[in-house]
A and B are shown apart, each in its own frame.
Chain A
Amino acid sequence: MSVDVSGATGYRPSRTLPIWAEVRRQASRRRTQIGLGFMAVLPLIILIAFEFDSGGGDDDNGGAFGSLVDLATSGGLNFALFCLAVSAGFLLVVVVALFCGDTVASEASWGSLRYLLAVPVPRARLLAVKLIVALAYSAVALAVLTGVGLLAGTLRYGWHPLGSTIAAEIAPGAGLLRLLGIAGYLAVTMLVVAGLAFLLGVMTDAPLGAVGGAVMIWILSSILDQITALGAIRNALPTHYSDAWMGLLSTPVQVDDLVKGAISAIVYATICWGVAFWRFTRKDVTS
């Protein structure tokens, strides 16, 4: 690379806002610490809640899948699976939306965004670094939830095969792979949330608006998905395949819906991020 003659000494666009600097920028924030901390604490809260369980007869209304809760105390794998299952619908969505929606919008609301751009951090680089770090934090959140759930569950309930009422028990080794696969699929579906939140975060200066907007769209999509009258339109909803990870519990695994879900999530996320980059690299930053 040629010596940069136009910038200040030592300045190179590709060296601005290093990933690690952004990681530390976010790590020092209370919302990051609380978000990750809650992911670690949630399995422990669930564990304690199960300790209070008197074994009272709840009537089983969830069909084949309602039994996930019954099986949760059957072993560490099942406990971790339960933690994932209860978080997938809302908690993970909020945390991912928080990490991805807040990262640009909060800089805008503090006024520090314009100073970063005046450094100058190239706009595309700023977004890319912010996005990568936000996704990394989201992945860490998911990993912490799974890891703590697995560790706490295994310490309390032991290392047993992964059970489900859909198929036969799965041996612990294979079960761990399935669990990791489920966590991986959840990570892929969360790309939609990440995309929406990031886009909204770029469009607005209000961090809450971005996070809340993404969560609201997610919930709206989930509600629409319940309305069977919508027919094939439902297949295009971003949340339509969010439960497809259950296919990993059956033997042999059913990956068709997972594949479609992954396609849907990647397409949505790509569109959202594409629009976010397109918009941010052209707009007047007025914050």
Chain B
Amino acid sequence: MSWTSRLPRPTRRRVIAASAVVVLLAGLVGWSAWPERAGWTSQDKMITVLSGPERNESVTLDARLYLPRDRDGKVPAVLLAHGFGGTKESMSDDAESLAGRGYAVLTYTAEGFGRSGGQIHLNSPDYEIRDAQGLLDWLAARPEIETDAAGDPRVGVVGGSYGGALALMLAGQDPRVDAIVPSITWNDLTNVFLPQSADTSATGVFKKGWAGVFFGNGGAVPSAETLRGPSAPPAGVTIDPACGRFAADVCRAYLDVATSGDPDQSTLDLLRRSSPAATVGQIKAPTLLIQGAVDTLFPLSEADANARSIAATGTTVRVAWFTGGHDGGVGPQTDQDRVKFLTAQWLDHYVKGEGEAPSDSFTYSRVAGFSALDRGLVTNGYSDDAYPGLGGTGSTTVTLQGPAQPIANPPNGNPGTLSSLPGTGGRLSELLSGVAADIPGQHATFESEPVTKAIDVVGSPTVQLRAASPTGEATLFVKLYDVDQSGAETLSAGLVAPVRLTGLPASLEESEVRTVRLPAIVRQIDAGHTVRVVVATTDQAFLSPVEPATYTVQAGAQMTLPTVVGEPIANPQTIWRYVLGALIVVLAVGLAVLLLVRRRRLRRQHTPTDPEHAGTPLVVKGLRKAYGDGFVAVEEISFTVQRGQVVGLLGPNGAGKTTTLRVLMGLTMPTAGEALVFGHKLVPGSPVLSRVGALVEGPGFLPHLTGLENLRAYWKATGRPWEDARFDEALEIAGLGDSVHRRTKKYSHGMRQRLAIAQAMLGLPELLVLDEPTDGLDPPQIAEMRRVLKRYATDGRAVLVSSHLLAEVEQTCTHAVVVNKGRIVASGPVEEIVGESPSVQIEVSDVPAAERVLGELGVRSVLPDGPSGLIVDMNGTPRSEVVASLVRAGVAVDRVVPRRRLEDAFLALVGENSRGSGDR
């Protein structure tokens, strides 16, 4: 069968349903794809501000002002500052989102970047900060912007990294700022680029990896492509190949520190001047500090220093950490959402004056694992009542074991250990599983016993360290690994503690004990894991001494791990759990209601609908069946089957017999009319069908079961008592002998037919409906079947047989119903129909002569029947007279056969249209 023939015909209902689905789908897709009308407008401006120590150097800044589209009156403003190497374009997403919240947002490209003029002074108070003050003036002059006083706009400053430091320094320098949200930024560049993790005043270790990235980013000579692009520097800017757009003093400072790793005082001064540390104590604007835990450039300690300085003056400050940063990127979605929420809440309260005051709680997140779907990180958020600093709210001490070990510093620090990949950004998963690989001979290991219960480390762990060096100096890198049971070690976020010790003795016994503060981390060290402290001589992210040397190091026995046990932040995703619960409850209730309704409906079916016919096996009244495509299989059929009758439903193929029987079996719904079985109206599944046995449209058996198993499986499905089945009688009728133990798929057509009749007779139903029962049977079996059916109809039972064979109906049935083209053409007792008919069939030698003679006799009609035959409706004329008249007229009569009514009726139909009217 081809697939096309299985396609449903396009009826009106189907077309409407299909169109509705198409329209709905198109609507959904269109609705989701339709661009949302932005809630803001924007305009690009070139704003010229006066900058420089003397406020006499004019700098043109490439800026863009976003305004909320629907605003009534003046709106508060937000100044958005970009990160190092970015332009105003890098802030467009944040700007649009804030503008959508009802803020006027000013983004701009900082001096020395993109299309803005000027040079990079590294957030110098005289340049970049002055520029930003100029922008505050500009904002205050705009008519759309709300002001606190003349020249004092209501404004918050938001920025990350370079922009974050600008926010801090601007708030420290200009009291007009109302609130700031600096993120992933620094406190003191000398600590950033020359970190020192030990409690000593010696200059730290130069963070060459990041410094190079930092400097290269802004200092690189723009490529030809950039020069043609929209962020090309303005004409007239001269670019020094060594310093790029850096100001000369910044460039000189970089070259100084990057060459020797030991900066001179003027470099240190410049770095300090470019740091919020100097002015952060003057900040009065409420400050929300957001710092990333996966950040080897500006680690959590930078935000901690800012927070402590700001809080010391009584200014409101709040701290939040997220799993991301210069190494980790923006972090997982939950963290982005939290940061976004905190920022909006902060600005809404302190700038717009809406919403309750944000609490002081400290929020952070810890990696929980990988998302199974997008393979990104999944973090859990936690909160604690107040910011605990880097020391945690509690602490756990673990005991480290390991002897003093000699470790070698290779010349020029090469080969060097790899712990992080500065500037690659976003490679969070690699960093979390640790790129670290310590080089043999260059590191000492001190390890704890497996911890007995999980430790929630939040903050900076501390460890004691003693070192001896023949040169008197040592550059060391202290790392904390979390080692699992299988020995896999993880360096949290790739963070290391660089230590530079000076004035060291040659032997360990004389050396002083130093306390090393490791970088702050957020990590759960699971039960059974060990804590491993590694002291290495090299790290590729840092500058190590040129001269080779061998140090001896010994870590102290006690390591302190700061801990915070935060409250898990309710995950908004948990709402889905309630949705799931509600869904299951709704479905359960819905199912229960459906079952109840159904049970009630079933009970209603039990009462007879027509008591008048309660004793009649079958009454069919005005049955009509039209299919969805307009084909009418049954026009109108009415007949009755009484007890004791064997009724034959006779008709040519396609007369509508099978459709009628299908309706009687509850397989097909009639379009009109009804069938009553023992007074019960038949609908699909009517319980009264259990009093009917059926063979409709051939047998249907499970091919893998034997004949007997099929009968048993069928009876099992009826759920009726086993002893009511009368298997023996049924099997006798089937007459299959030992073949009942063979699988039905091996049966011949006739065997299957007999088995199907036996199945129909299981339980001796009061009404037996058989569709073409003798199909496939041989003559002796047919004869036997006739006897069986006649016998069956005794005892008040009834049989309805359909057939297209006249002889069969005539010999088997007591009554007959002749149908054609969906209508009844004759019905009644077989003897009555079969009785004498007014017509005869005559075969004559001369047909035209005979017709003439017959015409004179006054018969009702004469129809030709074959080359020499005539069918004559006698109209009461005796047959003998007809023959005599023909013979007298010289027409030889070969045969005179009286016709019977049933044959008349049947042949009339078949003769007129033996092709039937299609498959009914």
Which residues of A pack against B, CB within 8 Å? Answer: 2, 4-13, 15-18, 21, 24-25, 28-30, 63-65, 110-124, 161, 163, 165-169, 204, 206, 232-233, 240-241, 243-247, 249-252, 254-257, 259-260, 262-263, 266-267, 270, 281-282, 284-286
Contacts and interface: CB of A to CB of B under 8 A. Distances in A.
Contacts, number: 215
A11 B718 contact: yes
Contacts of B691: 7-8
A4 B687 contact: yes
A254 B371 contact: yes
A-B pairs with lowest CB-CB distance, top 6: A111-B700, A250-B369, A246-B372, A15-B719, A7-B687, A11-B690
A169 B486 contact: yes
Contacts of A119: 689-690, 714, 717-718
A8 B691 CA distance: 5
Contact of A110 (B602, B605, B702, B766): B702
B719 A17 contact: yes
B318 interface: no
Interface in B337-382: 368-373, 375, 378, 380
Contacts of A111: 697-701
Contacts of B52: none
A117 B429 contact: no
B579 A21 contact: no
A114 B697 contact: yes
A155 B669 CA distance: 59
Interface residues of B, number: 79
Contacts of B717: 16-18, 21, 116, 119, 121
Interface in B689-716: 689-692, 694, 696-705, 709, 713-714, 716
A32 to B, nearest CB: 10
A278 to B, nearest CB: 11
Contact of B687 (A120, A123, A284): A120
A6 B688 contact: yes
Interface string B503-531: 00000000000000000000000101100
B224 interface: no
B667 A114 contact: yes
A11 B694 contact: no
Contacts of A30: 704
A114 B699 CA distance: 10
Given A114-B667, A120-B687, A13 B602 contact: yes
B587 interface: yes
Contacts of B698: 111
24 contacts: A4-B687, A5-B607, A6-B608, A7-B606, A13-B685, A17-B719, A18-B717, A28-B709, A111-B699, A119-B690, A120-B685, A120-B687, A120-B689, A123-B685, A232-B32, A244-B373, A246-B372, A247-B369, A254-B378, A257-B371, A259-B573, A259-B577, A260-B576, A284-B669
A124 B597 CA distance: 12
Given A11-B687, A21-B716, A118-B692, A113 B583 contact: no
Given A123-B684, A244-B372, A112 B485 contact: no
Contacts of B583: 263, 266-267
B453 interface: no
A256 B666 contact: no
A120 B684 contact: yes
B724 interface: yes
Given A112-B702, A114-B696, 8 more contacts: A8-B691, A8-B720, A11-B690, A29-B704, A111-B700, A118-B694, A120-B690, A255-B577
A6 B584 CA distance: 37
A233 to B, nearest CB: 7
Instruction: Report which residue of A8, A243, A263 has the largest number of chain B beta carbons within 10 angstroms of its beta carbon.
Output: A8
A161 B485 CA distance: 11
A285 B661 CA distance: 12
A117 B719 contact: no
Given A64-B370, A251-B526, A284-B667, A10 B689 contact: no
A250 B247 CA distance: 50
B372 A28 contact: no
A16 B684 contact: no
Contacts of A167: 369
B721 interface: yes
Nearest to A233: B32
Contact of A64 (B375, B607, B692, B763): B375
Contacts of A17: 717, 719
A241 B665 contact: no
Contacts of B709: 28
B759 interface: yes
A249 to B, nearest CB: 8
Contact of A117 (B378, B576, B667): B667
Contacts of A243: 372-373
Nearest to A235: B373
Contacts of B484: 168-169
Contacts of A110: 700-703
A80 B487 CA distance: 24
Contacts of A4: 606, 687
Interface in B1-24: 6
A65 B724 CA distance: 61
A283 B647 CA distance: 29
Contacts of A270: 587
Contact of A10 (B29, B692, B724): B724
